[in-house]
Homo-oligomer: A and B are copies of this chain.
Amino acid sequence: MTELGEAVVTDDEDLEGLYGLTEDLVRETLAAIGAQDRVRLRTLTEPLHAADMADLFQALSARNRVLLGNYLGEDLEPEVFVHLDEAVREDLIEELDPDALARVVTGLDVDDAVELIEELEEADQQELLDNVPPVDRALYEEALGYPEDSAGRLMRREYAAVPSVWDVGQTIDYMRDDPDVPDAFYGFFVVGPDYKPLGVVMTSRLLRAQRAVPVTDIIEPELRLIPATMDQEDVAFLFRQYGLVEAPVVDEDGRIIGVITVDDVVDVIHEEHEEDLLKLSGVGVDDLYEAVVDTLKSRLSWLCLNLLTAILASVVIGFFQAEIEKVVALAVLMPIVASMGGNAGTQTLTVSVRALAMKELTPSNALRIIGKEVLVGGINGMVFAVLMGAVAYFWFSDLLIGLVIGVAMIVNLLIAGLAGILIPLRSTGPEATRLSDRASF
Contacts and interface: CB of A to CB of B under 8 A. Distances in A.
Contact of A52 (B2, B182, B241): B241
A76 interface: no
A325 interface: yes
Interface string A19-51: 100010011000000000000000000000101
A86 interface: no
B198 A203 contact: no
Number of copies: 2
Nearest to A267: B240
Interface stretch (A66-74, A127-135, A293-301): A293-301
A188 B186 CA distance: 12
A363 interface: yes
Contacts of A59: 362, 364-365
A403 interface: no
Given A23-B363, A313-B335, A314-B333, A379 B296 contact: yes
Interface in A222-275: 222-227, 229-231, 234, 237-245, 250, 252, 254, 262-263, 265-267, 269-270, 273-274
Contacts of A300: 380, 383
B332 A334 contact: no
A123 B362 CA distance: 37
A183 interface: yes
A340 B9 CA distance: 48
Indicate the size class of the contact surface on chain A: 35 or more
Contacts of A188: 204
Contacts of A344: 299, 303
A419 interface: no
Nearest to A229: B12
Given A347-B302, A384-B307, A245 B263 contact: yes
B375 A176 contact: no
B347 A283 contact: yes
A184 B205 contact: yes
A269 to B, nearest CB: 6
B207 A175 contact: yes
Given A219-B4, A266-B266, A274-B354, A224 B18 contact: yes
A227 B334 contact: no
A350 B302 CA distance: 14
9 contacts: A4-B198, A4-B223, A7-B224, A23-B441, A55-B359, A243-B263, A265-B266, A288-B361, A288-B369
